[in-house]
Structure 1
Amino acid sequence: MIGDFLRCQDGVLTLAQARLAGVSQDAVNRRLRSGHWRRCGPGVYFVDDRPFTDAARIRAAVWSHGDHAAASGLAAAWWQGLTRFAPDLVEVTVPRNANGRRRPGSRVRRRDLTAADIVVERSLRVTALPLTAIEAAARRGGGAKLVDAALQRQVELRAMWTAHLRNKGRYGSPASRLMLQAADGGARSHAERLLVGLLSSAGMTNWKANFPVAGYRIDVAFPDSRVAIEVDGLAFHSDTEAFHHDRLRQNAISLAGWQVLRFTWLDLTEYPERVVAIIRQAISAC
């Protein structure tokens, strides 16, 4: 039974699980003295015959704060596959009345989460994906790309708004609200303004906004080079009908002899230099 726990739990084990498997407190102490087991927190151990992975580190940090603790923020985002890299500090959310203190390698947030905001994934309590996305996006090193990643995972924008409103007043709440507002209705126009600002800052001229081609309006056009630039808002993945219409529109513009470049809100905010370089290359090639 110990082996089953360790295989499924990244080498991390609790005292309760050890006792369930028939290991006494004395036997646990002997394993700790021998160095075969390592204490990670109160009643939480790592069996030191394997690498101490990021998954083991996050699991041990959460379990060290008790049965009602949950991974949140960037730790939950990594656990749920929204980001590639695990954070150095593991954010753990615990109930307001929870005992205990912050432990090395973790950051504690104290608030009461509803059942709707908690899921169990691979035997670990983590914040549910809608809440994870908006909280992690507001953390340093997060950003709107995590909201975008959640939308691509078919998380509804409405579910993120509901999670946000259910947890108002939490750390990072104002930043989350701004990102949700951008995704909810003005992200596309905001993206267009960002693009225009980039072009102006780069000293690029001879472009026109809302230029008519093939019965459609191009967001930004370089008529002399016949280069059309289309921009997508933060939530463009979540609207299937709009996505289909944009593809019909793009095909018609291409058939009219224009080269079409598409950029997302994230491209413009995260990689502005790359956007400008691609536009310059397209214009110079014509």
Structure 2
Amino acid sequence: MRASHNQHLIHEVLQWNGVIARRAHLDLSQTIGRMLRAGELVALLPGVYTWARWAGDPTVRLLAVAAWSPDAVVCRLAAARLTFWPEVDHGELDLAVSDRRCSAKGFRLHRRRLPPEHIVGWPLLGEDAATDGRGIVPITGPALTAVDLCAELGGEPIDRVLRSRQARLADLRGALECTAHRSGNRDRRRVLVESRAEPWSAAERKGHRLLFEAGIGGWFANFEVAVGGKTYYLDIAFPHLKLAVEIDGRFHEDDPDQFQSDRERQNAVQLAGWFVLRFTWYDLVDRPKVVIAQIRAALARCRKLAGIR
């Protein structure tokens, strides 16, 4: 009778929290052990269990982190997926911990102390549960997450977090300064220097680099323009001359919605009096001198039309 009652209690805890921590329910410890041996429950992290059929659920795995240790923080790609990069596949869950006390299948532990100002509580079960203090997992904030990743992945995490507007360049620099003396920081600092004009894609980053190397100034990246009640963002703009430079990414033609949106934007800003140049990724990579020459020619044309020497 008591075993049946305990199983019912475990069922209720799992329905409510997704996982059950042995240390929080010591009175149910023996029943948890029997259910483990029977294959009904599985351990996700030491002392934290869920139904066997739920073991692969991403949300349940994150809930296990919150139940396992108060100082475990989800980081790297898993944190990026929750915030500014929802399409990314993270595989194993990366956790920052104060000490590597164990290993667990599906989790990768990093011994690391994080600056508290770059840790946020992420609600996994909705706002109502979060109000009750349930289902909140600590993760690295968008700025630190992007900075962590750029040492291995280059500019893409930076581009994505900037495009999402979940972090600004100043936030990224602050995250780097808060985590000084780390392996890979030289590469991280280089990527941030290359991001000083806040590119939103690899193609924009390449275009910015060409302009910097050519010594061409007076431009702004992702410049906001209001036309006909709509807001558009120009990849590169010389606003004093109403000259825009639009850059198509490597897989631009594979996204019909983006392709259509870019054409609508170009038509709208041209009708508003802007002169628009458009380049492809292959122009930037294979014909950089032509790109710069055409931008210089467009600048000269626009200055002449504006009566500027």
Instruction: Kindly indicate whether residue 148 of structure 2 is the aligned counterpart of residue 130 of structure 1.
Output: no
**Equivalent residue for 2:207?**
191
CA distance in 1, matches of 2:86, 2:23: 32
**Equivalent residue for 2:28?**
24
Shift of 1:215: 7.5
- The correspondence for 1:216, drawn from 218, 232, 241, is 241
SS of match in other structure, 2:196: helix
SS of match in other structure, 1:216: coil
- The correspondence for 1:13, drawn from 12, 17, 20, is 20
Shift of 1:193: 4.9
Shift of 1:70: 0.9
Instruction: Tell me: CA distance 1:192–1:119, structure 2 relative to 1, closer, same or farther (3 Å).
Output: closer
**Equivalent residue for 2:110?**
109
**Equivalent residue for 1:239?**
none
Shift of 1:12: 3.0
CA distance in 2, matches of 1:42, 1:258: 62
Shift of 1:115: 1.4
Q: Which moved more, 1:116-125 or 1:101-110?
A: 101-110
CA distance in 2, matches of 1:180, 1:273: 24
Please report the RMSD computed on the Cα atoms of aligned residues, expressed in angstroms: 4.1
Residues 89 and 107, structure 1, Cα contact 8 Å, conserved in 2: yes
The normalised TM-score by structure 1 is: 0.61
Shift of 1:45: 1.1
**Equivalent residue for 2:160?**
149
Shift of 1:257: 9.3
Residues 250 and 260, structure 1, Cα contact 8 Å, conserved in 2: no
* Deviations, residues 105-141 of structure 1 (Å, cap 9, x unaligned): 33322221121121121221111221012112333xx
Amino acid in structure 2 at the alignment position of 1:148: D
Correspondence 1:67-106 to 2 at 5 A: 67-95=70-98, 98-106=99-107
Shift of 1:52: 1.6
Shift of 1:53: 1.9
Instruction: Tell me: CA distance 1:52–1:215, structure 2 relative to 1, closer, same or farther (3 Å).
Output: closer
* Deviations, residues 14-63 of structure 1 (Å, cap 9, x unaligned): 223444xxx51111111111111101221111212446223334554676
* Deviations, residues 186-243 of structure 1 (Å, cap 9, x unaligned): 8678525559x9xxxxxxxxxxxxxxx9973757xxxxxxxxx4359xxxxxxxxxxx
Instruction: Tell me: CA distance 1:5–1:136, structure 2 relative to 1, closer, same or farther (3 Å).
Output: farther
Q: Which stretches in structure 1 are left out of the alignment for 5+ residues?
A: 198-212, 220-228, 233-247, 277-286
- The correspondence for 2:278, drawn from 261, 270, 281, is 261
Instruction: Tell me: CA distance 1:62–1:175, structure 2 relative to 1, closer, same or farther (3 Å).
Output: farther
SS of match in other structure, 1:92: strand
Higher RCO, 1 or 2 (CA under 8 Å, sep at least 6)? 1
CA distance in 2, matches of 1:121, 1:189: 30
Instruction: Kindly indicate whether residue 47 of structure 2 is the aligned counterpart of residue 47 of structure 1.
Output: no
Alignment length (residue pairs): 222
CA distance in 2, matches of 1:214, 1:78: 35
Instruction: Tell me: CA distance 1:61–1:88, structure 2 relative to 1, closer, same or farther (3 Å).
Output: farther
CA distance in 1, matches of 2:271, 2:141: 42
Shift of 1:73: 0.9
Residues 78 and 86, structure 1, Cα contact 8 Å, conserved in 2: yes
CA distance in 2, matches of 1:130, 1:48: 35
The normalised TM-score by structure 2 is: 0.57
CA distance in 2, matches of 1:50, 1:118: 27
Q: Percent identity over the alignment?
A: 22
Q: Which stretches in structure 2 are left out of the alignment for 5+ residues?
A: 1-8, 124-135, 214-237, 249-264, 287-309
CA distance in 2, matches of 1:189, 1:25: 55
